[in-house]
Amino acid sequence: MAKIVVLGAGISGHTVSSYLQHYLGKKHEIVVVSPNSKYQWVPSNIWVGVGRMKPKDIYFPLAPLYKKWNIDFKQAKATSIHPDGGEGFEKGYVTIEYVTEDKKGVVEKVDYDFLVNATGPALRFDKTEGLGPHNNTTVSVCSFDHASHAWKKLQESMEKMKQGIKQNIVIGIGHPGATCQGAAFEYVLNVYFEIKRKGLLDYADITWITNEYQLGDFAMGGAYIKYGGYITPTKVFTESFLAEREIHWIKQAGVHKVDKDTIYYEKLDGTYHELKYDFSMLIPAFSGPGIKAFGKDGEDITAKLFKPNGFMIVDADYTPKPFEEWKASDWPSKYQHPDYPNIFAPGIAFAPPHTISKPHKSPNGTSITPAPPRTGMPSGVTGKIVAQNIRDWIKAGKPLMKHKASMAKMGAACIVSAGYGLTNGIAATMTVYPIVPDWEKYPDYGRSIKYTMGEPGLAGHWLKWFMHYMFLHKAKGYPFWYLLPE
């Protein structure tokens, strides 16, 4: 019997454990370790953040489902990995610390035959001075509780608008190297939609602030899309969406400090600026959760497993080289650690070999460049192929590693939806292929124009609504869930 330990129960981790249970049944042991007791469909946090959904609409408890699936669920956080064993363990093990009230602080060692690190990101509000809900300054939509708090704060701001008090609304990216531009962009459009729906636009001044070099970069270096018979850069697509709604924008901005009413940022030209706000949602920097690693004799080997940002080293080419020499082949396809092949890191947990967007530094030496996105579809797809490779390894008794999913050979669909309901909403739907540009295969645009396209309209909004229910159906393990795409 093989024992697989999965760290994390988000999109990637839950995908891995779901498919492993489906493939292996009760013949092998699956252990899921996560400090979170609930699974949440993260893309719908946006609707929670504007009051269109309740938190309970986007999450469900994990323990009952895992009990039904015969998965051992431990509500705990992983603190260290010991891939060579030691302390009486012949094989690798992880040290975990429980977070539930009845076992809070209890430490346990869990051995494994296969380890999947799918912890996702730590939200590093601390990387930007004063940023975040815990500082009672900006809000966040990175989790359902954050999004619920954001809606409360937005309502307070709209109440002031009703009294004729103008409000400065600032939404965007709260760190020079942060990612998730798509989520923040979707939120700014939804906030605009709600303010307009209540007839309060005359009392709102809305600004989009981003670390992107050009609007529409979305941490993917931008794209050229086929729309209406023309090939258009996403810069034009994005600017038109904002301009039509009279939303101002500030690009090439690295936010470095926030206080109760002011955002302080550095521009790529090296100048420093201040921006007043009454309500602000800014995405923080991400990092790995800070798991340590130790060898058999207790030596610290964290740098062997993780990059300095806490994300795990996998089968990527991390050789430092100029931007002009970056290649699609640098990106991993198996999400497997090179020295410990029974350790995997799908989704946000793996360390990218480099950014997708061209890096830029200010004259002050500040890197103002979005980190690569790995959320949503890439997290699900990479989680599934890790589960497939572990299944094959167990059944064959040796590593076959036939299943691969490089982001340089993977397409993705992004729907930026605003509004709610069947007739009252709009969306910008965009597909890109591949996610990471391949300039050798597609020398003109880096991507296939045939499969990279964009379309605004109500149909995309319907699709976003449908996807919410479809992916929750899949995550809950409802009938034929495994037939649905990632």
Provide the pLDDT for residue 470: 92
* Structural domain contains residue 181: no
Which tens digit of pLDDT belongs to each residue from 400-421? 999 999 999 998 877 777 766 6
Which tens digit of pLDDT belongs to each residue from 353-377? 999 999 999 999 999 999 999 888 8
* pLDDT at 343 exceeding the cut of 90: yes
* Structural domain contains residue 267: no
* Structural domain contains residue 322: yes
Q: Residue 204 — left, alpha, or beta (φ > 0 → left; ψ -120 to 50 → alpha)?
A: beta
DSSP category for residue 261? S
423, 358 Cβ separation under 8 angstroms: no
User: What is the residue range of 370's domain?
Assistant: 3-123+287-396
- Which of 85-94, 219-228, 388-397: highest mean pLDDT? 388-397
Which tens digit of pLDDT belongs to each residue from 103-138? 999 999 999 999 999 999 999 999 999 999 999 999
Radius of gyration of the chain (CA): 22
**Terminal alpha carbon distance of the chain:** 28
* Structural domain contains residue 303: yes
Q: Which two tokens stand for residue 137?
A: 């300054």
Mean pLDDT of the chain: 94
SS3 193: helix
Provide the pLDDT for residue 421: 62
Q: For residue 71, what are the CA distances in angstroms to 12, 27, 32, 114, 478?
A: 16, 11, 7, 15, 16
Provide the pLDDT for residue 280: 98
Which tens digit of pLDDT belongs to each residue from 199-226? 999 999 999 999 999 999 999 999 888 7
Which of 18-27, 324-333, 449-458 bottoms out in mean pLDDT, i.e. has the lowest? Answer: 449-458
Helix (H) or strand (E) holding 241: helix 234-243
Provide the pLDDT for residue 376: 84
SS3 413: strand
* Structural domain contains residue 169: no
For the chain, the domain total comes to 1
Provide the pLDDT for residue 164: 97
Provide the pLDDT for residue 413: 75
330, 316 Cβ separation under 8 angstroms: yes
Taking the complete model, does pTM exceed 0.85, yes or no? yes
Provide the pLDDT for residue 459: 59
* Structural domain contains residue 210: no
* Structural domain contains residue 338: yes
Q: Which two tokens stand for residue 327?
A: 């290649």
Task: CATH number of the domain at 115, please.
Answer: 3.50.50.100
* Structural domain contains residue 336: yes
The pLDDT-based confidence of 87 (bands split at 50, 70, 90) is: confident
